[in-house]
Amino acid sequence: MTASKSSRARNARIAAQAGPARNAAKGGTTVKNGSTARTSNTARTSSAARTGGAGTVTRDRNGRDRARTGAARTGAAGSGAAARGSQTVEVRDAVAERGPAPWLQIATLVLALAGLGVSIYLTIAHFTESALAGCSESGLVNCTKVTTSPESYVFGIPVAVLGLAFFVFAAAIMSPWAWQSARREIHLARIVSVVVGIGFVLYLIYAELFIIGSICLYCTSVHAITFVLFVLTVLAAAAWGLKPGAAWKFKFARQLRLAPQPD
């Protein structure tokens, strides 16, 4: 009995000592499990962070690649637009170098030659004092009265001679060679001549209607030719410009288009 009791007491003490150890072991396991859980959570978090970061980097790279691709496309489009603009300006340069339309060049030359022919005839009739063919000598239409009146002289020079000089110059200045010339002063001289010519025509019409009281059919034909030349010359200057002024303008525009643009 005594041995049995002592054995039981010993076992109880051993069991009492072993209990805290087991609990400590169990607590350690729990702690280990917790640290494992924390480690796992940390790993997952860092993995997620890494994954998110990688995803962000990938998106950024894709975005940059797209931006670069867009910039390349924009650059290509800009190059194409610059090329088309250059071609357009080159065409305009070619048009400016040729001058106005061929029909206008030919029409003005024909008109100038017609006026020159009439002026030659009037000059001959003035100095020979011969009657003008097919012209009435009475009434409103009276060529002799007009060509022999005091108003047939300007500054002591016969009007027929002044008309002859004008159309000699007009025949030269209205030629295709002059229209296509690159000298600006030629085109300025053309405009000045027709402006002076139309001003002189207005004076002669006033003199015929209000001073002389008669008109001359040959003089009227010269007036009409001068008026048409004036209109065509002004329209040509407005539509095609003055060379080399027009060519310089298109060349300057081309240089601006092809110049590199600042970033």
Band of residue 160 on the pLDDT scale cut at 50, 70, 90: very high
Spatial distance between the Cα atoms of 128 and 239, rounded to a whole number of angstroms: 44
- Owning domain of residue 82: 1-86
Q: What is the count of structural domains for the chain?
A: 2
The reported pLDDT for the residue numbered 95 is 45
**12 and 132 part of one domain:** no
Q: Is pLDDT above 90 for 31?
A: no
Assign residue 197 the CATH number of its domain. 1.20.1440.130
pLDDT value for 68: 56
219 and 133 in a single domain? The answer is yes
List all residues 6 or more positions away from 229 whose beta carbon is below 8 Å from its beta carbon: 108, 111, 112, 115, 170, 174, 194, 197
Average pLDDT for the chain: 73
Q: Which residue has the tokens 């691709």?
A: 69
Per the model's pLDDT, the better-predicted residue between 223 and 19 turns out to be 223
Are 117 and 209 found together in one domain? yes
Tell me, yes or no, whether 201 and 74 share the same domain.
no
Q: How confident is the model at residue 75 (pLDDT cuts 50, 70, 90)?
A: low
Are 34 and 136 within one domain?
A: no
* Domain co-membership, 78 together with 161: no
Average pLDDT over residues 71-99: 51
DSSP secondary structure of 222-250: HHHHHHHHHHHHHHHHHHH--TTHHHHHH
Residue type, 50: R
Tens of pLDDT, residue by residue over 97-109, are 556 889 999 999 9
pLDDT for 182:
86
Of 42-56, 144-158, 238-252, which has the strongest mean pLDDT? 144-158
**Cα 155 to the center of its chain, rounded Å:** 49
User: What is the structure's pLDDT at 16?
Assistant: 59
